[in-house]
Amino acid sequence: DGGITQSPKYLFRKEGQNVTLSCEQNLNHDAMYWYRQDPGQGLRLIYYSQIVNDFQKGDIAEGYSVSREKKESFPLTVTSAQKNPTAFYLCASSAGVSTYEQYFGPGTRLTVT
């Protein structure tokens, strides 16, 4: 089955720890995205990548880092510099090159205490 997987579904961390969220897709999509969603809010773009080994900051990149070493993988690291990391994190992909319909993974709920 083609799709996007994110792991884990729930993640708990202590304040001050870095944590890496996994995102893998087997849709052969060029573009991948990371969003953050807070309760009752829309999606805010953290980082996106249109091609391997290249990525751009979104609207709220501070305190986050990414890598895109493989087409199918786009991990997100939430660093200790992110002041309010508790949120629902969503990974998405799109075919790219004028096709911007995005398909989402199931998400990871991160709780930092």
Question: For residue 58, what is the DSSP state?
Answer: -
- Span 86-105, contacts to other proteins by CB under 8 A: 90, 96, 98, 100-105
Asked if residue 31 lies in contact with residue 20, where contact means CB atoms within 8 angstroms, the answer is no
Distance of closest approach, residue 79 Cβ to other proteins, in angstroms: 22
Q: Say how far apart CA 25 and CA 32 lie, in whole Å.
A: 9
Is residue 47 classed exposed, middle or buried when 0-12, 13-18 and 19+ CB atoms within 10 A define those classes? buried
Contact pattern from residue 24 through residue 63 relative to other proteins, giving x for each residue in contact according to CB under 8 A and a dash for the rest: -------x-x-x----xxxxxx--x-x-----x-x-----
| Sites of contact with other proteins (CB under 8 A) | 31, 33, 35, 40-45, 48, 50, 56, 58, 90, 96, 98, 100-107
